[in-house]
Amino acid sequence: MSEGNQDKSETAANAVAQSRGERAEAVSAVNSWKIGGIATVFGLGLLLVGALRFYDIQADNPPALAADATLIYIGLTILAAVSLIRTGVPMRRFGFTITLKPWNILALALLGIVMLQLSGAWLTPVWDHLFSSERDLTRFSNVSGSPAALAQLLILNWTVAAFGEELAFRIVLMRSIAYALGGDRRAFAIALVLQALVFGCIHAYQGPTGIASSAINGLIYGGLTLAARGSIWPAALAHGLSNTTGIMEVYGA
């Protein structure tokens, strides 16, 4: 091959490579917009669920949909997860993969419980003073002294709350926000904060103190998930055990 023909071949190859790179960037940009749209719709849907829960407890005549808030929340999570998979977001078996050795998972879970207890002991008085009100737990008042209600709530705690909320917030929502922003460490840091804020807002039925406390808890759960390389097991265990402690306190009250 002559030198002129070789130069032309190299130029053509570079042009093809550049074209492929530009197409890849365009596809990536399109996916980022799609993922961002999914994250936005899902986040707004979760806020709607929080509003329905709030009106179901606080309003004299709550909307009919309020009774189905949990079912709506589950449906939104499934729909968002399927949509993200179709856009290419790696879900890693929705966080159920065990990425660490069992004792490391337990150690992270115990660390999470300690952090939750410390944040409750140190920050709850601050929120109570700042908002002039305590956390409103009237939604769970029927558990007091009722073994049947206690058993039902414990089942909901370990399914819908402990694992369900970790899947929805720490996997689907946090990961969708992070990948919409590029998927780097900075993106995950932003996603960690945003999902915690949404997590706090869906607990509006517990009052301002409940919102603030839940947002801090969301940061802890999200941090545990990131530390566990995308596995929800440490956060779910810490979440479930922490809630169980609170439920038992309400039961014995």
Q: Is 19 among the domain residues?
A: no
Looking at residue 64, its pLDDT comes to 85
pTM of the entire predicted model: 0.88
pLDDT of 13 > 70? The answer is no
Q: Is 184 among the domain residues?
A: yes
One-letter amino acid at 83 equals S
Per residue in 128-151, pLDDT (tens digit) is 999 999 999 988 989 999 999 999
Q: Is 52 among the domain residues?
A: yes
**Burial, 216: exposed, middle or buried (Cβ in 10 Å; 0-12, 13-18, 19+)?**
buried
Looking at residue 19, its pLDDT comes to 42
Per residue in 32-62, pLDDT (tens digit) is 899 999 999 999 999 999 999 999 988 888 8
Angle (CA) 104-241-214 rounded to 5° is: 100
pLDDT of 11 > 90? The answer is no
CA distances from 45 to 1, 62, 204, 247 (A): 63, 18, 15, 27
Contacts of 77 (CB under 8 A, 6+ apart): 42, 164, 167, 168, 172
pLDDT of 5 > 80? The answer is no
Looking at residue 243, its pLDDT comes to 96
Per residue in 198-253, pLDDT (tens digit) is 999 999 999 999 999 999 999 999 999 999 999 999 999 999 999 999 999 999 87
The band of 68, judged by pLDDT with boundaries at 50, 70 and 90, is very high
Q: What is the mean pLDDT of the chain?
A: 89
* Phi-psi map region of 62: left, alpha, beta (phi>0 left; psi -120 to 50 alpha): beta
Contacts of 187 (CB under 8 A, 6+ apart): 177, 178, 179, 180, 181
Looking at residue 2, its pLDDT comes to 53
The band of 111, judged by pLDDT with boundaries at 50, 70 and 90, is very high
Q: Which domain holds residue 204?
A: 36-252
Number of domains in the chain: 1
